[in-house]
Amino acid sequence: MPDESCTVCGYTIPKGTIVYMNVWALHRDPKIWTNPLEFKPERFLIDKWDYNGNNFKFLPFGSGRRICPGIPLGEKMLMYILASLLHSFDWRLPEDEEFELLDEFGIVTKKRKSLIAIPSRRLSDASLYF
C-alpha cells in the first residue's frame, strides 16, 4: 500500500491502494526462467537466486516487512530433515498412482491432487525411529 500516489510501469497507483503481486506469474515468466512450467529443482543449484526479498523476479518467502521470519531456521534445518527422511525410509507411491505436478491457482498455489508418499523403514533397528 503506497504512502503516496505513484506510477509503476505506466500505471498510476493511488495512495492507500492495496497492491498484490502475482508471485505465481512471476515464478512462471518465460523471460526469466527457461521452461518455467517444468519441474527442475536443479536450476537452483546452477543459478544461486537471492530469496531474501531483494530480487523481485523470485519471491518465495515474500519481501519487505512481511517477509517470512523463519528463513534462517529453514535454511539450517532443511538439509538435516531431508537427509534424515531419505536415509531412514524407502519411499513409494500408492499402487496404480502416478506422480502429478499440476497445481491450482489462487492466493496460495497448491497441488491439484495431494501427493501421498508411503514410507517404509529402511534401518534394521526400530529404536532409531523414536
Q: For the chain, what's the residue count?
A: 130
Residue recorded with cell 536415509:
87
Cell of 72: 534462517
- Provide φ and ψ at 34, rounded to 5°: -80, 125
6 is in an annotated binding site: no
Q: Distance of CA 109 to CAs 23, 34, 55, 102, Å?
A: 10, 20, 20, 10
How far is the C-alpha of 24 from the C-alpha of 121, rounded, in Å?
36
User: What is the three-class DSSP state of 63?
Assistant: coil
Around Cβ 58, how many Cβ atoms within 10 Å?
19
Query: Which residue positions form the known binding site for heme?
Result: 68
Query: Which residue positions form the known binding site?
Result: 68
